[in-house]
Amino acid sequence: MRYFIELSYRGTAYHGWQTQANGVSVQTTLESALTQRLGKPIYVMGSGRTDAGVHAKEQFAHFDVDEPLDLTEAFIYSINCMLPEDIAIHTIFPVRPKDHARFSAKSRYYQYHVTRQKDAFHSNLTYHFRPKLDIDRMNKACELLLQHTNFQSFSKARANVNHFHCKLDFAYWKHTNEDCLTFHIKADRFLWGMVRTIVGTMLEIGQERMSLDQFEQIILARDRTVAGRAAPANGLYLVEVGYPVAVLENRT
């Protein structure tokens, strides 16, 4: 039987989602807790790979077992007790054998949080960036971004993918308060390092250090070396993974 896990995590202490040879990952930590609780080796497949230091308010993964699980509140609580405090399982629910955490997903929605004021309690959860930014120019850049589908210029050079096309649903900047600014972006898929590189490049636009014409030429160049520096990982959050209704029908 196949089960989906809905979870969240603070990525500060981890070398990303995927199992790493040289560091602790979210995937490895989750597998260890499930293996301990179920008494047999458990492998999980995530909806996508978040980089080192990136957070997730909503992430999904699936795993397979031979027999049905007794999905009580106490069962999920017991697994959460085995997990560190920066990883939390919200629910576990059965899905069809063909449902896949990664390949059944239709969209991913990310947010990137920038703050002008230093905050002792959120130093690893937002990007402290002091320069004043022109949000109107940055949103004009978002309008240009939405006119394109090839984002090779914003992908890490070592990305092992068949193509660099992504269909964006939206991209925009919005003030959450006077000192905090959030970038919202949703697409059917994302390339390795794509969101952070877009953010880093748009921060150049917001400081009027790059024109909108230059930004579009970066997109058209399909060359990572011409785009801006990637923004730090600590401001990035995976906030929603979209699935067909049938996949989530047993979610509680």
Task: Give the residue numbers annotated as catalytic, written as ranges.
Answer: 51
* CA distance readout (Å), 155 to 29, 151, 199, 223, 229: 27, 7, 12, 9, 11
- Cα-based distances in Å from 177 to 115, 132, 182: 9, 14, 10
Within 8 A by CB and 6+ apart from 30, the residues are: 5, 7, 44, 61, 83, 87
Q: Buried (b) or exposed (e) across 63-81, using 16+ Cβ within 10 A? A: beeeeeeeeeeeebeebbe
Half-sphere exposure of 184 (CA within 13 A, CB side): 8
110 is in an annotated binding site: yes
Tokens encoding 3:
């089960």
Q: Which residues contact 126 (CB under 8 A, 6 or more apart)?
A: 113, 114, 115, 119, 180, 234, 235
Instruction: List residues forming the annotated binding site for substrate.
Output: 110
